[in-house]
Structures are given as structure tokens and as C-alpha cells.
Amino acid sequence: MERRVGMSGRNLLGTIAFGLFAVIAVTGCSSPPVHAETIYVSPAGTDDNDGSVSQSGSGKGGPVRTIARAQAIVRGIRAGQAGASIGIELAAGEYVLDRPLLLTPADSGSPEAPLRLYGAAGQKVVISGGQPISGWQSGSHGELVAKIDLSPYGGVCPNQLFVNSVRRSRPRFPEAGTLSMADVDPVDAQNAPSSLQFTAGKGDLPPGFQVSSETEIVIIDAWTAGRMRLVGFSPDSSKFRVEGEYRGRKSRPKFEAGLAYYIENQPVERLAPGQWQCTAALSQIRYHPMARESAKSLKAIVPKLTTLLYLRGASGDPVHDVTIQNIDFAHAAWIMPPTGWSAMQSEIGLPAAIQADNCQGIAFRKIGIVHAGAQGIEIGKGCSNVELANSRLIDLGGGGVLIGAALRKPMPGTDWEGGAISKSPTSNIRILHNTIEALGRIHLAGTGVWVGLADHATVGGNSISDLYYSGISVGWVWSDELSPVHDNLIEGNRIENYGQGMLSDMGGIYTLGRQFGTVVRGNAIANGSARAYGGWGLYADRGSTGIAFINNRIGTTTAEAMYVHEAGYLRILENTKLGNSRIRMTCPADLPRARGGAPGFTYACTFAGDRPTQAGIK
């Protein structure tokens, strides 16, 4: 039976009209459970209570204060009542964690009696990994100052501050846009040093420019954006020294003249309204309040925990049958390693605010993942039958959703050995009707939804916008070779305002490698813009094979509506270009093989009535 999430409507960015679509429930039962019980948690509770009632009364019959205490009570109940259906209900308020929540196989429910962790109906419930900043005092130039505990960050300064639920920025140079490296010290690409040097262009820097031990540089190279520390600067020569391990596109470990960059957190005497700065030597934060903000009205939070929730099973012993609903997960940290950070693509390798491995029958419904420093949620190896639906992933340092493993090729002793299907597959994952926006706030190359080594993943009906790289990426093998990626469905998504002139070589929807049975259908894509090149609507990159692109609608992009790069057998049918998008498809070099070599597949270099010329074919 053909899977179908929805079909695009007549207006590109209007309502996507969805047909009948039955969302398969992750947990459920045909008859009521034998026993149901609720443990109540409240910020006003105490862990001396038994959690049996939602309001404190006489004796121990009141809500507990911490989720960890509720978790321990549930385990005790399950030990004596194996069939119990147990819910942990969180009352309105903010639950500040001192360590990440951890669900293991010991917390698992069953299909008939799942564990339910949920916020009370109609209430605002937040699980926070932050530390509040208080005790603000008046400083110079209208600024406020406060002390901060730097021990959660190893004595260095954090890189995120949220004031009244809004991300605030540190000083940046230039304030908008980028600069270009001029002269670059020669580096042996095979033996790159731990420090790299380059010279700023003449006239690029203002008089008196300086850096400190907390100053960072972001280096943009096509589809990558590395972040490192500046450890030296010569005002006389305008030469910068950068320390760490740099990896640009194609993993090259050296700087080149012309690379784009900008500088963040350079010391300034006066902060602009809404800016902040931390000085590690003083354990102090400075903040310039916005209009109508005051020391008394500030609710300032600095994230301290990198991951807020782990679902951690083991091979053959998964966490299973858990539903999490009506909860916001907020304020996840990211602390830059001493060697800096740069990823090969899509910021793969960053931590996530919610991390799941070896799990089955998990549902996340109407949750929020907000104000985080790295990725939103990662559904990793060994997970199956997992759903994220009707949720919000907003204001994230990296990407939104990651599915599956990130192995590039078979490696002996790994989950994907010798080209065989993975021993720990990620399968039957559903990402449905979510809002995913404001990504890449620290790591520019974050992707809205990334599907790595996974099969039967459905990404449907999502709204993805305001990011600097690809909206959806599927596949992780750079060739037409056997891989564990197949039968994924990307349908009915709306993707807009991606790229935004910061990175290059991207697509609204990007595919990679062999993945027979994958369908990209009924998606609406618009407003993709690249820095130097790319910004395509649909992008079938190296080795993309066995994929069908059907009935997608592409609006204005800075490059072609679709680009096919060294791909194999594809079906490209009934797609529509709108706005100013152009058509130029680069077909495979062995086009005759691609046209008829796979049963049921045709390689059609046609696109909504436009036929590219022979000159457009490699």
C-alpha cells in the first residue's frame, strides 16, 4: 500500500490540503488497563510526599517536587503491579534540572499500559536546563551586571543568554554580513598545525579593534561553518591567530584566502541594547536592557545542561512504550570544545536536547524544544516506531530533528558491517505536523530534519523555515552503493526561507546516496538563497538513486529549481516551478544507463514542461 501524508495545494505557501491520513498510534490498547494510576508533580510539592494527589493536604498525600522522585515511585509501583498504566502529571510551572532526566528499560511500559509523562491539560509546563541569573546591579553606560557560576561550563563563559524568553546576542563584527580572509599562512594539508593564521583585508577592521580569550570566529566554507577561538591578534599587521582543528568543505584542514568569516564576542566598552557579554576572570555578566526592561523585570536564564532528556536502552533491551506530551523542553547548553567545532555537513555530531537510542514505541506529542544551543531531538540507532507530532522546535543553535546513524560507509565491527543492513536499524520513525523554525542560531549548517541511515521514516506535513542550510536532508552515503537507507517518505512539507545568503550548496530538500523506495512528494518549497552558489529547490546529490520526486512545487530560489549531481536512477514527474526559478538539470554522465537500467524507473530530464538543453547535461 502506498504511504501518503498529503498533497500540495494550488498556492505554494498556502494551506496544504491533506487527504485522509491515519496516524498509527505508538501506544494504545483494545481494552482498558487493569489498573491505572497517576503520580502528581508540582513545583510547590515536596519529595517527602507520595505523589498520590495533586494538592498538598495532611500527611504525605500531596504532589512530589521533582520528576526524578516521581520516576522512582513509578518504578516501585511497577515492581508490585506489572500491568499498571501509570502517568506522571506535571502541574504548571518550571522544573529546573540539576542533571538530565534519564529513562531506561526499567521505566518502560507496555503497549497496553504505557508510561505517560505529561503536562496537566491547559497548563504551561517547562522542563529547563538553565540557571537563573539574578542579583542584577547597575553598571556603566546604562548596563546591568550580575555574578554567574561558571562551574557548569568548566570555568569558561557560556554562549547563550535568554531574557524574558528571548535569545540575546553578544557583540558581533561586522554587525551584519561577513568579511573575507586576505593573506593566509601556508599550511601543509596533511599535517595541519593546531593554530592557523590569516590576515584581515585592508580597512576591514576599525581602529582599536581587539580580541580576548572569549572571542570566537565563525568561518564559512560553502556548506560548512566552523566555530573556533581567536587566541591572538596583531593590530599592526591585522593578523589573527586561531586555535583548534578546522574542517571546511570536503574536510580540508586549512584556511584559504577568500574564506568568509565573522567575529563574535569581541570586547566592547559599550553594549548595544539587547547585547550581553561575559567576563570569565570576573565571573560576571553584563547586559544592556532593552526599552522597558529593568533589573526587577528581567527573567534571565543561561543554559547549563547540554541534554535535558535521555531515552537510553541497549541492544536487545530497549526503552519502550513511553508517551511524552504537553511539555516544553527549554534552555539546553552548548559549550565549545577547546579545539573548536566544525562538522563535515549538517552539523552532524552535535548533541541534542533530547537524545534517544535503542528505543521502541515512543511518542512525543505536543511538546516544545526551544532555546537550545545545539540540535533539537536525535532519534538514533536501534530506535523504531517513534513519533514526533504536533510539536514546536524553535530557536535552536543547530538543527531540528535527526534520525538514524551517521556512518558514511560500512566499517568492520560497526552497526553497518560489510554493506549489510544495519544490526541496529532506525526504522518506522514519523515526524508529523511539526513547526520547525529559527535554526542555526549558533551552528549555521543545522538542517530542519536530517534522515541518515534509516528506513521507513515519514517526514510529513511539517512547516520548516528560517534556517541557513537545507530544510530536509535524506541519506548519508556519497555513492550509489548498498546502504541501509530505503523506503523513506518526504511528503506535504512546507519549506521556506532557507540559506538566507549565508551558506552554499544546499536544497530545500536534499538527497544523497542509494535509497530505493524513497518518495519526495507534494512538498512546497520557496525562498532559498545561497551565498555563492546553490540554493536549489530539490537537490539530488551524489549517488542519489531509486528516489521518486513527484508533484513538488518550487518557488523563488537563487539557483535552479532542481539540481541532479552524479545521481543514478530517478523518477522526476509532475513537479512545478513558480516565481523566478529556472530549470537546468545536470544529469549523470552515463545518462543512457540511468534512463532504463532499473525496473520501474525512468530518468526523465523534464520538469513541468521545461526541457533542459543538451548543453545542460554533463
* Residue 402, domain member (yes or no): no
Alpha-carbon span 176 to 168, nearest angstrom = 15
Q: Between 36 and 54, whose confidence is greater?
A: 54
Phi/psi at 281 (nearest 5 deg)? -60, -25
pLDDT at 585: 59
Which of 386, 377, 344, 335 lies closest to 151 in space, CA to CA? Answer: 335
Q: What is the mean predicted confidence (pLDDT) over 230-239?
A: 93
Confidence at residue 58, expressed as pLDDT on a 0 to 100 scale: 63
Backbone angles phi, psi at 581, to 5 degrees: -65, 145
CATH number (domain holding residue 194): 2.40.30
Query: What is the pLDDT confidence band of residue 187, given thresholds at 50, 70 and 90?
Result: low
* Amino acid 419: pLDDT: 56
- Host domain of residue 228: 173-264
**Residue 102 domain-assigned (yes or no):** yes
pLDDT digits (tens, 9 = 90+) for 424-473: 689 999 999 999 999 999 999 999 999 999 999 999 999 999 999 999 99
Quick one: 472 and 580 in the same domain?
yes
On whether both 136 and 253 belong to a single domain, the answer is: no
**Residues 102 and 160 both lie in one domain:** no
Tell me which of 483 and 252 has the higher pLDDT: 483
Kindly tell me if the per-residue pLDDT of 594 is higher than 50.
Answer: no
Q: Could you give the number of structural domains in the chain?
A: 4
- Examine the domain organization and report whether 511 and 549 are in the same domain: yes
Confidence of residue 589 (pLDDT cuts 50, 70, 90): very low
Are residues 321 and 365 part of one domain? no
In a domain, residue 474? The reply is yes
| Joined grid coordinates for residue 473 | 536532508
Strand-by-strand arrangement of the 137-138 sheet: 137-138, 144-147, 284-287, 276-279
pLDDT at residue 190 above 60?
Answer: no
Does residue 544 form part of some domain?
Answer: yes
Of the candidates 356, 349, 337, the one whose C-alpha atom is nearest the C-alpha of residue 374 is 349
- More confidently predicted of 507 and 412: 507
Mean pLDDT along residues 241-254: 79
279 plus 152 within the same structural domain = yes
Confidence label for 587 from pLDDT (cuts 50, 70 and 90): low
Distance CA 549, CA 526 (A): 16
- Helix or strand (DSSP H, E) at 427: strand 427-432
Residue 34 has pLDDT above 80, yes or no: no
At 281, is the secondary structure helix, strand, or coil?
A: helix
Does residue 155 sit in the same domain as residue 240? no
How high does pLDDT run on average in the chain? 86
Label residue 420 by pLDDT band (50, 70, 90).
low
Residue 15 has pLDDT above 80, yes or no: no
pLDDT confidence band for 7 (50 / 70 / 90) = very low
Q: Both 139 and 125 in a single domain?
A: no
How far apart are alpha carbons 502 and 314 in whole angstroms? 40
Lowest-pLDDT range of 85-89, 141-145, 343-347: 343-347
| pLDDT for residue 411 | 62
534 in a structural domain: yes
Answer whether residue 493 shows pLDDT above 50: yes
Which of the four pLDDT bands, split at 50, 70 and 90, describes residue 583? low
**pLDDT at residue 249, as a whole number:** 76
Digit-coded pLDDT (tens) for 87-118: 999 999 999 999 999 999 999 999 999 999 99
**Confidence category of residue 201, pLDDT binned at 50, 70, 90:** very high
pLDDT, residue 617, reads 20
**510 shares a domain with 422:** yes
Q: Looking at the structure, do residues 316 and 418 belong to the same domain, yes or no?
A: no
Q: What band does 54 get if pLDDT is binned at 50, 70 and 90?
A: confident
Q: How confident is the model at residue 237, as a pLDDT?
A: 93
Stretch (H or E) spanning 388: strand 384-389
Instruction: Flag whether 19 is in a domain.
Output: no
Cβ neighbours of residue 400 closer than 8 Å, sequence gap 6 or more: 369, 375, 376, 377, 393, 436, 439, 446, 447, 448, 449, 464
Check residue 468 and give its pLDDT.
98
* Whole-number pLDDT of residue 479: 79
Please tell me the predicted confidence (pLDDT) of residue 20.
26
Average pLDDT over residues 26-39: 51
Q: What is the mean pLDDT of residues 330-339?
A: 95
> Has residue 49 been placed in a domain?
yes
What percent of the chain clears pLDDT 70, i.e. is strictly above it? Answer: 82
| Residue listed under C-alpha cell 546553490 | 534
Q: Is the pLDDT of residue 376 over 90?
A: yes
Per-residue model confidence (pLDDT) at position 543: 86
Task: Give me the pLDDT at residue 412, please.
Answer: 65
**What's the CA gap between 94 and 438, in Å, rounded?**
23
Q: What is the pLDDT of residue 582?
A: 56
Closest residue by Cα to residue 511 from 464, 580, 569, 465 = 569
Find cell 494527589 and name the residue: 53
Q: Mark whether 584 and 457 lie in a shared domain.
A: yes
pLDDT surpasses 70 at 39: yes
Q: What is the pLDDT of residue 503?
A: 96
- String of DSSP letters for 317-331: B-EEEEEEES-EEEE
- Provide φ and ψ at 167, rounded to 5°: -65, 130
Residue after which a domain boundary falls, among 280, 302, 324? 302
**Element holding 402 (H helix, E strand):** strand 401-403
pLDDT at 586: 57
| C-alpha cell at position 340 | 573548536
What pLDDT, on the 0 to 100 scale, is given for residue 6? 42
3-state secondary structure of 72: helix
328 and 364 housed in the same domain: no
Domain ends where: 286, 317, 333?
Answer: 333
Is 1 domain-assigned? no
* pLDDT tens track for 505-521: 999 999 999 899 999 99
Q: Quick one: average pLDDT of 408-430?
A: 70
